[in-house]
């Protein structure tokens, strides 16, 4: 038993010594083809240069360029250039995988290419809609795929004034009434978008369903996601909300003008 224990201890010591030798700088220098007893800066630099030149191949060059593009994506703040750089990096890594015979790398980056292409197309469509908005077309067809359907019956209240605002509505069918100002909202109009802009995220009016209808909804969190994916959407949304504010101002001016005319009529009658 004592002999067996001694043998095990000797074997363990040898294993530890071998592991220690492999971690020494001298061992590393030997593996690099350098003499540990005669090492200089020039010798080290020249040897590293030889190793780099020996590994310069077309496949490795593709991998290097691909890595540069993928690292560049980490420095980008907007999605469109990020997707373009990612697709370029994936293309170079596909070439690297094909030339080097690395099947895993080839398949991985080949699958990433169409995914990035689809996302890039979605972003470009969003930009196109945003540019159309700047020219006066405020169609919301592009936003519908991001929204969910909801139905209301006559008498249902979508939200009340001063309620917490968490989502925006797009009317599809039916009729809805802004009770504070007695204004009907027909199909194809936004509701609840102003709550997205108010500092306290509260409803500015009450909306009631006066005829069975259907709406599409989207949460403010989803709107923020779309905005951060493409800041141009911010301008698009600004155009939509500005249009609503201008309509409200025009409506108020009409009411003020009517009241002013009524007062002038009463004053004229009193004088007469």
Task: Report the CATH number that the domain containing residue 201 is assigned in CATH.
Answer: 2.60.120.10
pLDDT attached to residue 20 = 41
**Taking 50 as the threshold, does the pLDDT of residue 16 lie above it?**
no
199 and 155 within one domain:
yes
- Residue 183 resides in a domain: yes
69 and 38 within one domain:
no
Q: Can you state the angle between helices 58-73 and 79-100, rounded to 10 degrees?
A: 160
198 and 122 within one domain:
no
d(CA 117, CA 98): 21
21 and 68 within one domain:
no
The mean-pLDDT minimum among 21-25, 62-66, 216-220, 237-241 falls in 21-25
32-41 residues labelled b (16+ CB within 10 A) or e (exposed): eebeeeeeee
Domain count within the chain: 3
Show Cβ contacts of residue 58 under 8 Å, excluding neighbours closer than 6 positions: 99
**Taking 70 as the threshold, does the pLDDT of residue 256 lie above it?**
yes
Q: Are 80 and 123 in contact (CB under 8 A)?
A: yes
To the nearest whole number, what is the mean pLDDT of the chain?
A: 78
Question: Given 36, 54, 72, which residue is the final one in a domain?
Answer: 54
More confident site: 204 or 109: 109
Q: Which domain holds residue 112?
A: 58-133
Q: What is the pTM (predicted TM-score) of this model? A: 0.44
Other C-beta atoms within 10 Å of 213: how many?
21
88 and 171 within one domain:
no
> What are the angstrom distances between the C-alpha of 242 and each of 16, 18, 79?
75, 75, 26
- Assign 13 a pLDDT band (cuts: 50, 70, 90): low
96 and 178 within one domain:
no
């Amino acid at each position: 038993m004592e002999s067996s224990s001694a043998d095990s201890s000797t074997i363990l010591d040898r294993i530890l010594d071998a592991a220690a030798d492999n971690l020494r700088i001298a061992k590393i220098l030997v593996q690099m083809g350098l003499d540990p007893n005669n090492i200089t800066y020039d010798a080290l630099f020249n040897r590293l240069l030889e190793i780099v030149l020996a590994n310069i191949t077309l496949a490795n060059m593709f991998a290097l360029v691909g890595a540069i593009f993928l690292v560049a994506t980490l420095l980008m703040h907007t999605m469109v250039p990020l997707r373009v750089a990612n697709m370029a990096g994936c293309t170079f890594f596909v070439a690297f995988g094909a030339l080097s015979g690395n099947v895993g790398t080839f398949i991985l980056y080949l699958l990433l290419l169409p995914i990035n292409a689809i996302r890039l197309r979605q972003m470009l469509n969003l930009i196109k809609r945003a540019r159309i908005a700047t020219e006066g077309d405020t169609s919301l067809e592009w936003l519908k795929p991001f929204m969910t359907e909801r139905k209301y019956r006559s008498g249902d209240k979508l939200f009340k004034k001063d309620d917490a605002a968490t989502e925006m509505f797009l009317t599809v069918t039916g009729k809805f009434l802004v009770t504070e100002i007695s204004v009907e909202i027909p199909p194809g109009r936004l509701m609840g978008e102003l709550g997205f802009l108010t500092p306290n995220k509260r409803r500015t009016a009450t909306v009631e369903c006066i005829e069975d209808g259907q709406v599409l909804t989207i949460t403010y969190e989803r709107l923020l996601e779309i905005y951060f994916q493409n800041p141009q959407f911010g301008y698009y949304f600004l155009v939509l909300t500005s249009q609503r504010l201008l309509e409200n101002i025009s409506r108020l001016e009409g009411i003020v003008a009517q009241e002013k005319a009524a007062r002038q009529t009463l004053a004229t009658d009193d004088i007469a």
